[in-house]
Amino acid sequence: MTLSTETITKVSPQLSKQEILGASRLAIQAVIGITDAVEAMHSNISRVAPVIGRGRSGRARGLSGQIYSSVRGITRTVGFGLEAAHRILPSIHLKSSHHRTREALVSRINGVFGDHLESSQNPLAIPMSLRHNGQRLLGIQDCDANSTSILPRNPRPVIFVHGLCMNDLQWQVNGHDHGAVLAQELGIAPLYLHYNSGRRIADNGRELAMLLEAMFEQWPCELEELVLVGHSMGGLVSRSAVHYAQAHRHQWLEKLSTAVFLGSPHHGAPLERIGHLAGKLLEASPYSAPIARLGRVRSAGIQDLRHGRVIDDESGSDGVPNRFPDHLDVHSIAASLSAIDGTKNGKLKGDGLVPINSALGQHRDQSKSLGLPEQNQHLILNTGHLQLLESRMVYTKLKAVIEDVIEDVTEDVI
């Protein structure tokens, strides 16, 4: 079951009219947002607002105000025209080499603006589904369906959950896909979650729990075991799904034997914290506050990464569930850009995005630590965050973990 570029690019070889409409709506909203920000800065400058503190309220005055109002009016008129024109536009057929680029671009847009796309019902918002080779197998809207023909008849599904601003096709890097090779060597059935990574992690976790329950009910043969593999944010979404499955007593959780997290920021990611602090500093002056408002456009999913929040709890990391079902074998894999192990002298680098302690689930406060056994915490040297997806050492760890699962199930059957 290899994952070739040819099979991927045969899927959805056209840009639909709905996607064109969604992109045009987003562009119109962006122009209006930038116009509002520039006008606010202009207004504060012309009225000589204090350097620190509250700015001057109201729109720009005189000719300047009329110009900004005209820009907004013309932009909205263009938007109305595009809304009307999209009905007669044909779908645009893409070259196969452009399909992955389209998928990647839409995924990035979802990662940055996903919650806005969802709330505004923008056609670019990605609905959650399980896919293979880019083909949709089961979506959240199919939870009440009875058809099982499209799901693989294999008792060992492994669910791969991608990270922020990514998609299911991006598990393939430089010709390697952990899931495809595991399918060849161990006979598992790799399924890839496709989702809007800009939504709240808790919302995606809750929906994933529901989707896996539907999958469990519709699976065409008896499940022997289920494995979750999450990269980056995907690990947090997986943890969230386990939490909500426990809360709602979902049946699939009984079959979940193993969860593996690859570079997941269990205790937050520094870049989002820096972005949050920078926004606060910009808000201190009325001259830079409009820029800060543009910065706050970043999605709820990105903001959840500040503390690694995986449930509906505004207190942040204090409310993160850090205990798993007793039967669940949990592994964390962290990457380091360091070429040699500098653990003893404290000079070990993170993977460029996620610190090692955060990726391993370690915390000085034991109540916040994931408490994984030492043998379940793995460190891969000379590897960056995205290189976890193509690392041979990571694959070897994954294979060993899943082989143990298969052996345990086989012994139980015997």
Among 55-69, 132-146, 292-306, 355-369, which range has the highest average pLDDT?
Answer: 355-369
Query: What is the number of other CB atoms lying within 10 angstroms of the CB of residue 320?
Result: 23
Provide the pLDDT confidence category of residue 280 given band limits of 50, 70 and 90: very low
Q: How far apart are CA 161 and CA 261, in angstroms?
A: 10
Whole-number pLDDT of residue 275: 47
Lowest mean pLDDT among 47-61, 125-139, 170-184, 397-411: 47-61
Give residue-wise pLDDT tens across range 135-164. 999 997 776 655 555 899 999 999 999 999
Whole-number pLDDT of residue 48: 45
Asked if residue 193 lies in contact with residue 161, where contact means CB atoms within 8 angstroms, the answer is yes
Whole-number pLDDT of residue 1: 34
Q: How far apart are CA 370 and CA 372, in angstroms?
A: 6
Give residue-wise pLDDT tens across range 372-410. 999 999 999 999 999 999 999 999 999 999 999 887 765
Architecture of domain 5-13+108-271+303-413: 3-Layer(aba) Sandwich (3.40)
Whole-number pLDDT of residue 203: 96
Q: How far apart are CA 79 and CA 98, in angstroms?
A: 26
Alpha carbon 290 to its chain centroid, in Å, reads 28
Helix (H, G, I), strand (E, B) or coil at 15: strand
Q: Name residue 308's amino acid.
A: G
Q: What percent of the chain has pLDDT over 90?
A: 45
